[in-house]
Amino acid sequence: MGYYIFGAGGHGRVVLDILLAAGEEVLGFLDDNLALAGQWRYGYPVLGDLRAVSPAPEHKILVAIGDNYARQRVLAEAEELGFRPGIIVHPSAVLCREVELGPNTVVAAGAVVGPGARLGRNVIVNTGATVDHDVWVGDNVHISPGVNVAGGVEIGNNTHIGIGAVVLPGVKIGPDVVIGAGAVVSDDIPAGVTAVGVPARRFLPRREER
């Protein structure tokens, strides 16, 4: 089985490394930036956009984009075209018993996903992050490097947990939230806000950021 990687940037390089470490075949990169077509990235060709290749039953795709909304958009387009999303876990990561991973989920080097954790579609658990027991993670979530999510936490769709943040046990974080780097989340966070600081407090509605 071979994999296409959509996204020839930094996160694409991380996904490439995970695939190679896991002994998987890499067919090449896909990217919307057509100026990259025909070039080589990290030893593999950039073949073009999603329409540059024909999906085949024996091939899968991993959408390697850090931004949650862009990753969601590209994954939906890829599936409409007939691509099958894969799931990839670095050999150094730890998946405990009764863990569920949705399509296009990437678990990077050194990450730990605790027993009974359930991760939705299109989730990134990045380098060295920990997601403890019985955590529920919605779709299109990015848990950045070095994040520690304690047991029983709920994280809503499209939420981004910034690098090095800590989420304390049982906290509920709504959808479309950004948790700032290094924040300590000790209380529930409602939908659609950015929360920063120690302890994390609501800072700015997401709709005002756009």
Q: Could you tell me which of 115, 86, 118 has the C-alpha nearest to residue 101?
A: 118
- Backbone torsions φ then ψ of 29, nearest 5 degrees: -100, 150
**Known catalytic residue: 142?**
no
**Residues 187, 171 contacting (CB under 8 angstroms):** yes
Q: Could you tell me which of 70, 103, 173 has the C-alpha nearest to residue 131?
A: 173
Q: Catalytic pick from 11, 59, 90, 133? A: 133
Cα separation, 49 vs 100, in Å, equals 30
The owner of tokens 């931004």 is 67
**Residues 125, 142 contacting (CB under 8 angstroms):** no
* Total residue length of the chain: 210
Annotated active-site positions, please?
133
